[in-house]
Each structure stands twice: as structure tokens, then as C-alpha cells.
Structure 1
Amino acid sequence: MKAETRSESIWGTWPGVARLRLQGTTLFASGLSAFLAILIGLPVAMVILMSLRTGFPGEVVPFTLENFAEVYLTQRTYEVLLNTVLFAVSSVAVTLVIAVPLVWILMRTDVPFKKTIYVLLTVGILIPVFLRTIAWILLLSPRIGLLNKWLQELFSLSGPPFNLYSLTGMAFVQGISFVPGAFFMLAAAYRSMDPSLEEAAYTSGVGKLKTFLRINIPITLPAIAAVMVYLFMTAVAVFEVPAIIGLPSRILVLSSLIYTSTTPSTGLPNYGVAGAYGAIMLVVGLTLALLYVRVVKQGKKYTVITGRGYRPREIALGRWKWAALAFVFFYLSIEVFVPFIVLLWASLLPYLQLPSAEALASLSFKHYIEIPTRVGLQPFINTAILMVAVPTVTMILSVLVSWVVIRTQVSFRGFLDTLAFIPHAVPGILMAVGLAYLGLAYRDYFPLYGTIFIIILAHTINWIAYGTRTTNSVMIQVHRELEEAGRVSGASAPRVLGKIVLPLIAAGVLNSWIWIGMLSYREVTMSLTLLTRGNVVVSTVVWQFWGSGWVPQVSALGVILILFAAIVVGTLRFALSRLGEVGGTS
């Protein structure tokens, strides 16, 4: 037995075998790069292709610049671009005004109930943005808004005091929805900040507010700048808020213009014009992605952790503790509590009305009971398929990409990593439009249009950038000597990956798998763009109900979606805490 093991060890270290392994790894990395290039590049190529053609997908027509002339020589395009920029800038401003103080309070101070707040922030991320938008419409619409009606009755006002159907209203709702993501992106920078800088200010008699403005914000400015670029890039591409609030009030942005070009309420779709608009969004997205990478690299020059005597400590807020907690509660109210309560109230009524004795008498669970009849089983089945298939395929690809990028010496591994990041720069609606055109124009070669599989493909492409970022971060923590020991023992590269690396990164992979599944569960933009009768999911059902004016039914489905997200987050939080306790006792 010893002789056999020794011979395997010698065989595994033989230069010829090592060379063959390197060639095999290079061949595998080349195949993976080619596969990703096709997977990501085809939808983008379709956007460019359809911008150069007129007519319907599949028609044989010559290339033309007619679509670009129609788009770029029209004043409306530049009005829409201005709306897009104003909406994105205003949304980012709303987010930072809330997120920066919030992350300082939770990361740097002794404010109570932190674990509960973290859970609620996570739930806030998983609540579909379109549900939150609908809830705010039910509250602040000038025609049906409950708060507007109540204030008009209370103060005998002639008109509604608030109007959500404006660029300001759009930015308010979108900015609030960005806060949890911005919080988790900034958390590491504030958590790792050297407390001696703050303590020096306090010793000099500087107050907490001035210290926050003069020390905390300047030190974390690179991180804040990176978040600003990331959020601006996201705000340019978002669709739900501009569609639900902007379209009825004729406030158009790029994403809503692309959607209405391919899915018009009347008339025929114009994929050529959508492609021309998409070219603008594609250039903007890639430019902002490049800027984001540069800002992140520049930020690494700033050091907030010192090696000598570094020990992160919480700041005692004293009498300001409850004021800080009130700020946190205010944000959680407008992010989670108020939208949920509004949807719950509307779901129990036959029609939307202010609280009264008559309204209380009419409360019932009728709309919840009718959901199986109105919705049917297929949307729930399709949603379940998405929640399993998308994270599974995404994480398989992510692990393979990260293994090549982090654990091998392939010369073009940097290119592969950049290739996997590209979907982050391409808006989801653009990727979906490209896949729709591919499915319609080349249905004989790509027979996925109208099936749930084309949505799975769109979601997988969209989330692969997130998947590879997370697997990169966990795989880089595994020391190379563990893999080297396996190779010396004669184990092949796939065996080392499956038996050594994967078990060590399993927790991180599982966490990302669950997170991507929940993101697919709440996503509506790509699902709506690719919608047909055969691939309806729950999120698109809610969208269709809202378009039909079925407010109670929308609210009932919304409450169920929010409760499901809360149950998943709470269960995972409990399970992970229990695993931590078991690990600690063992």
C-alpha cells in the first residue's frame, strides 16, 4: 500500500504529467471562456444587430442607420436622457442621505437591537421594488392615496398635498430601495475604521456630529464614491419605478422607452428603435463599469486599518442613543413597515378606503382565498423552477470561473474574470430584449422563446457577475498548500476541486445560492420583457393585476411575497446562528 501511494506521488510530480495537467487546465479555461463569451456576447450582439435593422425579427432586410437617425435626431431622446440623469442623480442622493448615517450608527455606535435591524435590512432588499412602489402609490397617489385623502379630510384641503407621480416621487421611492444595498457595501469600510481617529477628535472636544462630518465621511470617501458610481449605474438601468410611476405621468427614462418600444400598449413592436436606445444604455453602462473599477482600485490606496494597536470599538452615544434608534426606525418604517401595512390593509378590503367603522366591518380574507383560482398553479411552479435552476446554474459557472481565476496560473485568467463581470455593466432589460430578439429572429436555432428556460438563461447571465464576485472572495481564503497536497498525492484537478476546494467553500457557495434564488424570486424586469402565456411567474402576475386595476388582489399577492421573503431570511438567520453555536461548542 505504501509503495502504491509512493508511486502515485512520484507519478503526480513527474514533469511530463505536470505539463499535461497545465495543458488540460488551459484547454478547460479556453472552453469556459468561449462558452461565457457566447453566453454573454450573443444577447449584446443581438441588441447591436437589431439597431441596424428595420422591420420584424427574422425578416431579411439590409443593414441601415435609419433607427439611429430616428433616435438621435429627435429632441425627445435628449429630454429622456435628461430625465434619466436627473432620476439617477436624485435617487443616489436620497440613498446616501439615509445610508451613510445609517451605516455609521450600526457599525460604529452602541445602538441597541442591531441583529433585528440587520434582519429587517435584508428583508428590505428582498421585497420586490415594484411592490414597495405600489404601496407608496396607494398612500401618496393624488387620486386614491390614503394619506392624501386623510389630510384633505383633516385640514379641509381643496387638493392633495402630495403627488407621487413626479420625478421627485420616483427618486424618493427608488432611493429608499437602494439603501439596504448601499448599507452592506459601505459596512466593511466603517466597521474596519481605526477608532483612534475618532477618539482623538473627542478628546479635543469635538462633538459626534462634527467628527462624523469631518473624519468619518472623508476617510470613507473612496468607498462612498464607489457606491455612488455603482448606484448611478444601477439607477440608469432600473425599470420598475419608472414604469409604475413614470409611464402614467408620461415621465420617460431610457429603460421605460426601451420597454415601450418592444412591448407597446397599442401598435407593433419596434425592435430597431429599441436597439438604438439600447446602444446608448450599453455605452453608458460599460463606461460606468470601467469608472467603478477604477474608483475601487484607487480606494485601495486609502488605509483605515492600522497594524499597531488596532482594535475596533463602539462609540457610546449616551443620550443620543434613542435619537439614533429613532432615525433607524424611521427608515425601516418607510422601507418595510409602511409598505407592508398599506398592502395588508388594501388586501383585506373590497376596495381601497380610509380606516373607519364601515371599513373594519368589511375586512375579510376573500382575496387570499381567491388567489389559487385567479392565479392558477403554473406561475408558482415556474417561480419555484427559477428559484432552483437559476442559482444552481449560476453557482456552477461561478465556481468554475473562480477556480480558473484564483487557483490556476492560466495566462488569460484576468480576461475570464473581466468577461464574467460584463453582465453587471449591461442592464437586465437590455439583456432580456437581446434574448427576445434572438428567440424571435432565430427560433429554429434558439427554440427557447416563450418558455421558462429563456428567463432562466436571462437571470443566469444577469447574476453571474454577482456569483463570481462572491466565489472569488471565498476561494481566495483557501490556502494553496491544501490543493498542492492533493496534487502531490496524484489527485487530478477536478478531484482536487471536488474533494478539497468545494467542501471548504461550501458555506459561501450555499449562501450565494440562496441569495441568487431570492433575487430571481423578486425580479420582474427581465421576466416581464420575456413574458408569454407559457412562462408566467408570480412577479409578472402581480404586474398584470396592477395593470388591470385589481388593487386588492395585487395587495394580497404582495403580502404573501413579502411574508415569504421574511420567513426565508428569518429561518436562514436562525439556522446560521444555530450552526455557529454548534461550531463554538464543538
Structure 2
Amino acid sequence: MNTGNKLSTANIVLLFSILILVVIVAVPVILIFITAFFENGKFNIAGIAKILSDPDTYQALLNSLIIAAGTTLVSTTVGTFFAWLVARTDLPLKKTMKALFLVPFMLPSFIGALAWKVLLSPRAGYINKLLMAIFGLSKAPIDILTIGGIIAIESMYLFPFVFLQVEGSLERMDPTLEESARISGANLFTITRKITLPLVMPSILAGALLVALYSLAHFGVPAILGTEKGIYNIPTKIYERIYASGGSFNAIRVGTILSTILVISAALILKLQDMLLKKGQYQIIAGKSMRPMVMKLRGLKIPLLIISILYIGITVILPTVTIFLVGGLKTYGLSFELKNMTWNNYLKIFQWKMTKDAIWNSLYLSLGAAFVTMLAGTMISYVIVKMKVRGKFILQFLGVLPFSLPGTVIALGVILTWSGRFGINLYNTPWIIFVAYIARYMAFSIKSNSASLSQVSDSLEEASRACGATHWQSLKNIVIPLIKPGMISAFFLIFLPALRELTTSVLLYGPTTRTIGVAIYALNEDGETVRAAALASIALVIIFAGETIIRKFLARLDQAKVKVQE
């Protein structure tokens, strides 16, 4: 292939990649800002000021900030503590505990919120009723339907962001400074407090900012625990405004103005995170094979293990078991006795049209979106990593942009783009959710495939083309087989989050296009707690089964890769 043809092929692939991201990502985001700031072709400063000065908007923004700040503080404290326990102490069963601390990643937080509402709601919570009976109380001692309750539940599911960041840094850090302090007579607690934690502070802050970003964008937990008491954050206020008006354009305009608050907040958080990661004060990873020293817990070993197990039991096992038990009740509110339980609730989930359709919709939308996004992300990643063409920075920017945007913002952009404005109306069809999933999860595919492609030497393609192979033949016979594990990883990284997604699809579903997350939320809102719990139980089974299959499949791929290398 001559240079002119190579350049032509590269430019065609580049332009096609840019076109995908512009249509799927850039246009929806641009339309959000145009709709928010312009009305009838004129800058709409008066309308913006009116909405932002609305007491409801102010309260929703204040609630968002309070929830994000509280969740960040609690998640950072919990995540850092458990990361230190796993990475730097002789805690028993460390590998098992590390795996258990990552379990909340698999669980949809809105299902956890539903479980805790069943346990601790002030009127009918099972734990509250038990405490009232034991201590003879006239009213429930715990009310989960508060801002504090929202913070507590969100923290249970977001602390792994901090745990992963800090645990990784602690595992890899250079032990020289700690060893020097120990030789100088400092005890291990002093070393941890004055040396270890300051060294990993950039990682702690990076994880904390990631928690803040996700908390600001959370819909499920605040919707389930807050709206009953009139507690709204920005995402739930957007949903309330749009659906209270029946999806009118004026309500969507209000939603876009509120969305700009989330976009600006996300941009500031990401910028701050980038500054922290680039301007870390210390280099904590050195070229030595020495491992950081491990603190001997001595008498605290068993108590801290018990605390860790109790934490997992309370935050993971208790709500999961509760969901399964409530899903099997004949009527909500009955005690968990065998005579009050039935299997029919679970069987009817596959017979009742709404829930049966929701399961089917989630499966084919998440599978389809994962497959298409994997392929598109592979092509875009190839341009970014392997092709020496101008304009690659556009792909990099557009590729990661959806990752930083709340799902509510992406949903509004998709509504504005695909509701007839350009002659294509996907509203109230599964296709609009499909497009939104591609936009939201494109960054996952690009990150996974870029990592795989960066490990493939350019010399392999060059040797193939020197032997007479075309560019496409080199890709098909050499590059794609080598990056297949990364492509498969990208597929599963998209499939599982899409399967349990709520924040985006709750604004996009129609009468026949509910997903599992939307159906659970709708059933709970309608007071169908038992049906909601039964569907949530089936969702958890699907998620756990999917996670197990994926881990085994990827493990086999890794083993096969090792054998090939040997």
C-alpha cells in the first residue's frame, strides 16, 4: 500500500470515528447548552435567572452539595481505613476481605436503598418495628428517609472508589521513608499518621473527588429515600419537573438549565482531580522490589477482622437477604415466617407483562449496546493509539466526555437530539435508550481497547504490510486477535452497568420500554414493594451470575494468553 493510500485510509477511519462521536456525544451536549441558554434565538438570561433563583432549585442544589460532601467524607474515611487494613497490616483473610470490599461495585445502589427503606422506614421498617417492640418505644428510633440516610446508603456503595485508589498506592509505595522513620524510633501508628497517609494523599483526594462526582449525579438513592419526604437533589428535581409536566418542552428547558449546574460541577471536579494527580508532592513508587512493611496488629487483629466482617454483613449481606425475603412475602408487612412466604412472586415476575418486558428490554439493550460500543470503541482506540494523523485530540476529548457527565444530562441531550429535531424521532422507542447507552459507555470501550492496543508493537503491523498484506488484512489477522481479550473486557465493562442502569433510562423509557431498573423504581413508587423486591432479587441473581461467568471467562483468557507467550 503506498503512502497516499495509507493517508487516505487513515483519514477515512479518522473522519468516521469523529462522526460517530460527534453524532452520539457532541451534538446532544451542545443542544443541552443551546436549549438552556437560548430561547427563540436570543440569549435567555432572564429565564436562567428566574429558574436559578427559584427556592426549589436553590434547595435542590443545596441538598446535592450536602449529600455529595457528606458522602465524600464518609466514603473517604471508610475507604482509606479499609485500604490501610488490607494493604499495610497483617489482617487475617486479606485476599478474601479485599474481594468482599469490592462487592458493592456489583450491586445497584438503588436496590440497596430499597432494602434499607424496607428495614428502616419510620412507618413500617422491620428493624424499627423490632426496636419499638423490644424497648417499648412509641415511635421509630431511626428514620432512613432523610439526607443523613441518603448519605449513609450512598457511602456504602461508593467507598470502593477510594478503597481501590488508596489500596493500590499503599501496595506499590517505596518503603524507604517508613524504614528510616522506624530506625529513628518512631512507632508504627506515628509512621502511618505522619508519613504513610501524607504520601498517599493524592490518591485519597483523587478517590474522594470521584465519589463527589458520582454522588452529585446519583438519581436512584435520593429518589427512593428522599422524594417521599420532599428531599430533592438536582437529578431528582430534573426528573420531577419533566414528568410533572408530562414531558413538555418548557420542562425539558428547565432540565437543561439544571443540567448545566451538574456539567459545570463535574468539570470543576475533574479539573481539580487532574491538578492533584499531576502535582503530587512525592514520588511514592520507586524502582525497588522491596515491599512496604506490614503493621502487626497483635491484639487488635481479631477485633478489626470482626469489624470488617460486620461492615460487610451490614452493608452487603443484610440488604441483599432482605430484598430476597421481602420478594417472597405474600403481603408486604408480614413477618418473615415460612407460612407468610411464597415462590409465586418470583414465578409471576416472568409471567407479568411489565416485569417480563423489563427483563427482556434490559438484556437485549445492554447486550446490543455493549457489542456496538465495543466495536466502535475499538476503531476509535485504534485511531488514537496507532494512527499518526491530525485531529486525534478531538477523539480523545469526545471519548472521555460522557464518562464525566451525569446520566441525567446524557438523557436530556439524547431527548433533544432524537425527538424529531433532525427528522429522526426515537422518543418512546427502545432505540433512544440504546443510543444513550452507547454515548454513556463509550469511554469504557475506549479506555479498555486503548490499553490493549498500546501493548501491541507497531513492528508487527509493519512486518505484515512489508510482506504484502493490506492494512485491513493486518488488522484482521494480527491486531484484532492480539487485542481480543481487551475487546471482550470492554464488552463486559459495558454490559453489566447497562444491565442495572437507572439514571439515564428513567428519563427515556416509554410505556413498553421499561428496563429492569426503571421497573423496580416504578413498582416501588406505586407502592408495590413486594413486586419491586421480587424483581430486584431476580436482577441481583442475573448480575451475580453475569459477574461469575465473566470472571471465569476472563481468567481462562488470561491462562490462554500465558500459554501462548510461553
TM-score of the two chains, using structure 2 as the length reference:
0.92
- Equivalent residue runs for 1:341-490 within 5 Å: 341-353=321-333, 355=335, 359-374=337-352, 375=354, 377-442=356-421, 445-490=423-468
Q: 1:297-321 deviations in whole A, cap 9, x for unaligned?
A: 334x742221245446655544433
Structure 1 counterpart of 2:403, one-letter code = H
SS in structure 2 of the partner of residue 247 of structure 1: helix
Question: 1:98·1:331 contact (CA, 8 Å) conserved in 2?
Answer: no
* More displaced stretch, 533-542 vs 478-487: 478-487
Instruction: Report the CA distance between 1:355 and its aligned residue.
Output: 4.7
Give the corresponding residue for 2:304: 324
Give the corresponding residue for 1:9: none
Q: Distance in 1 between matches of 2:456 and 2:80?
A: 33
Unaligned runs of at least 5 residues, structure 2:
none
Instruction: Report the CA distance between 1:115 and its aligned residue.
Output: 4.5
Give the corresponding residue for 1:20: 5
Question: 2:202·2:277 contact (CA, 8 Å) conserved in 1?
Answer: yes
Instruction: Report the CA distance between 1:240 and its aligned residue.
Output: 0.9
Residue number among 278, 289, 296 corresponding to 2:270 in the alignment:
289
Give the corresponding residue for 2:499: 521
Instruction: Report the CA distance between 1:216 and its aligned residue.
Output: 2.3
Q: Report whether the alignment pairs 1:182 with 2:182.
A: no
Give the corresponding residue for 2:208: 228
Q: 1:104-127 deviations in whole A, cap 9, x for unaligned?
A: 222334434444445444442121
Instruction: Report the CA distance between 1:466 and its aligned residue.
Output: 2.4
Q: Tell me: CA distance 1:297–1:401, structure 2 relative to 1, closer, same or farther (3 Å).
A: farther
Q: Distance in 2 between matches of 1:516 and 1:104?
A: 30
Residue number among 498, 515, 521 corresponding to 1:537 in the alignment:
515
Question: 2:485·2:554 contact (CA, 8 Å) conserved in 1?
Answer: no
What percentage of aligned pairs have identical amino acids?
25
Question: 2:430·2:509 contact (CA, 8 Å) conserved in 1?
Answer: no
Q: Report whether the alignment pairs 1:30 with 2:10.
A: no
Question: 2:171·2:291 contact (CA, 8 Å) conserved in 1?
Answer: no
Q: Tell me: CA distance 1:407–1:331, structure 2 relative to 1, closer, same or farther (3 Å).
A: farther
Give the corresponding residue for 2:533: 555
Q: 1:242-274 deviations in whole A, cap 9, x for unaligned?
A: 211121111221111111111127795711211
Give the corresponding residue for 2:220: 240
Structure 2 counterpart of 1:549, one-letter code = G
Q: Tell me: CA distance 1:265–1:562, structure 2 relative to 1, closer, same or farther (3 Å).
A: farther
* More displaced stretch, 267-276 vs 505-514: 267-276
Give the corresponding residue for 2:481: 503
SS in structure 1 of the partner of residue 512 of structure 2: coil
Q: 1:282-302 deviations in whole A, cap 9, x for unaligned?
A: 222223233333333334x74
Residue number among 25, 38, 59 corresponding to 1:79 in the alignment:
59
Question: 1:53·1:67 contact (CA, 8 Å) conserved in 2?
Answer: no
Q: 1:429-481 deviations in whole A, cap 9, x for unaligned?
A: 11101212333352x71222111111111111111122222222232222222
Q: Tell me: CA distance 1:470–1:293, structure 2 relative to 1, closer, same or farther (3 Å).
A: farther
Q: Tell me: CA distance 1:307–1:69, structure 2 relative to 1, closer, same or farther (3 Å).
A: closer
Question: 1:347·1:554 contact (CA, 8 Å) conserved in 2?
Answer: yes
Question: 1:166·1:251 contact (CA, 8 Å) conserved in 2?
Answer: yes
Residue number among 573, 578, 583 corresponding to 2:551 in the alignment:
573
Q: Distance in 2 between matches of 1:314 and 1:499?
A: 47
Question: 1:126·1:522 contact (CA, 8 Å) conserved in 2?
Answer: no
* More displaced stretch, 562-571 vs 532-541: 562-571
Q: Distance in 2 between matches of 1:576 and 1:414?
A: 31
Instruction: Report the CA distance between 1:530 and its aligned residue.
Output: 0.2
Q: Report whether the alignment pairs 1:252 with 2:194.
A: no
Question: 1:46·1:435 contact (CA, 8 Å) conserved in 2?
Answer: no
Provide the aligned C-alpha RMSD in A: 2.6
Q: Distance in 1 between matches of 2:236 and 2:535?
A: 24
Question: 1:122·1:569 contact (CA, 8 Å) conserved in 2?
Answer: no
Q: Distance in 1 between matches of 2:400 and 2:287?
A: 32
Structure 2 counterpart of 1:440, one-letter code = S
Structure 1 counterpart of 2:116, one-letter code = W
Structure 1 counterpart of 2:319, one-letter code = P
Q: Tell me: CA distance 1:564–1:202, structure 2 relative to 1, closer, same or farther (3 Å).
A: farther
Q: Distance in 2 between matches of 1:527 and 1:197?
A: 50
Question: 2:104·2:156 contact (CA, 8 Å) conserved in 1?
Answer: no
Unaligned runs of at least 5 residues, structure 1:
1-11, 55-59
Aligned residue pair count: 562
* More displaced stretch, 216-225 vs 347-356: 347-356
Give the corresponding residue for 2:243: 263
Q: Report whether the alignment pairs 1:168 with 2:148.
A: yes
- Equivalent residue runs for 1:69-148 within 5 Å: 69-148=49-128
Q: Tell me: CA distance 1:535–1:354, structure 2 relative to 1, closer, same or farther (3 Å).
A: closer
TM-score of the two chains, using structure 1 as the length reference:
0.89
SS in structure 2 of the partner of residue 231 of structure 1: helix
Question: 2:79·2:163 contact (CA, 8 Å) conserved in 1?
Answer: yes
Q: Distance in 1 between matches of 2:215 and 2:149?
A: 14
Question: 1:191·1:312 contact (CA, 8 Å) conserved in 2?
Answer: yes
Instruction: Report the CA distance between 1:213 and its aligned residue.
Output: 2.4
Give the corresponding residue for 1:277: 258
Q: Distance in 2 between matches of 1:556 and 1:350?
A: 11
Q: Distance in 2 between matches of 1:22 and 1:582?
A: 36
Give the corresponding residue for 1:5: none
SS in structure 2 of the partner of residue 272 of structure 1: helix
SS in structure 1 of the partner of residue 231 of structure 2: coil
Structure 1 counterpart of 2:377, one-letter code = S
Question: 1:51·1:271 contact (CA, 8 Å) conserved in 2?
Answer: no
